[in-house]
Structure 1
Amino acid sequence: MRRSGILNSLIFLLLILSILLFIISFFQKDRTSSVEKEVEELSLNLYQETYQLKKRMKVLEEELLMDGNGSQNQSFSPPRNEINAILKNQVIALHKQGLNVEQISKQSALPITDVQKIILQLS
């Protein structure tokens, strides 16, 4: 009999302890909410920084498009007498693929006359 009394009191004690721990768990600080807030703040900071960078890039692009007199520069093509070696290689590769001069001109952003000069230099 004594053994069942100890068992009953032990079970009762464990039951009380589990109820106590259950109640304490409700008052415990939720760690996930703080992590969620940190992630949200980091996300907002990232979006703001990205927006600022895009704004700066737009200003820089506008400045590059303006020449010294304040008028907009319409052409991005290199000077007529100097064509980049990479562009020359691109024109040559496109010509070897069988594209016509107009298609090569569109893909390389070079005038047709420059494309023709490069192709003629191959011969």
Structure 2
Amino acid sequence: MDITLILLIIGLISIILSFFFGNSSGGDGDDIENISISLHQETNQLKKRLRAVEEELMIGVNPIGKILPAKNKPVHEIIINQILSLHAQGYSIAEIAKRSSLSTEQVLEVLQARGVSI
């Protein structure tokens, strides 16, 4: 027999056997998909934490003043959002003032400026 014919027969037998025994890569795909999903979730959690830290840093850098137009020192938008969120959650004006480091008058001014009924 010729060597090319022997190699061709061995190749065909190998291909046929691979259909029956060579399907082990399916589990690897699931593992890779699970790792990819968990990596995506961890990345999103880190992004949320980073946003929170950035907001805290921005709060510390910017001066917190009154909303009165005469003084031109508005309360930072992040603080305003925090005040509105705390009010929506049912916190009292005093608790909101304590959490946002503002006076109760400033908290009331922010709520009134945004049209929230007190």
Choose 1 or 2 for highest CA Rg: 1
TM range (shorter): 0.3 to 0.5
- Give TM-score scaled by structure 1 length: 0.38
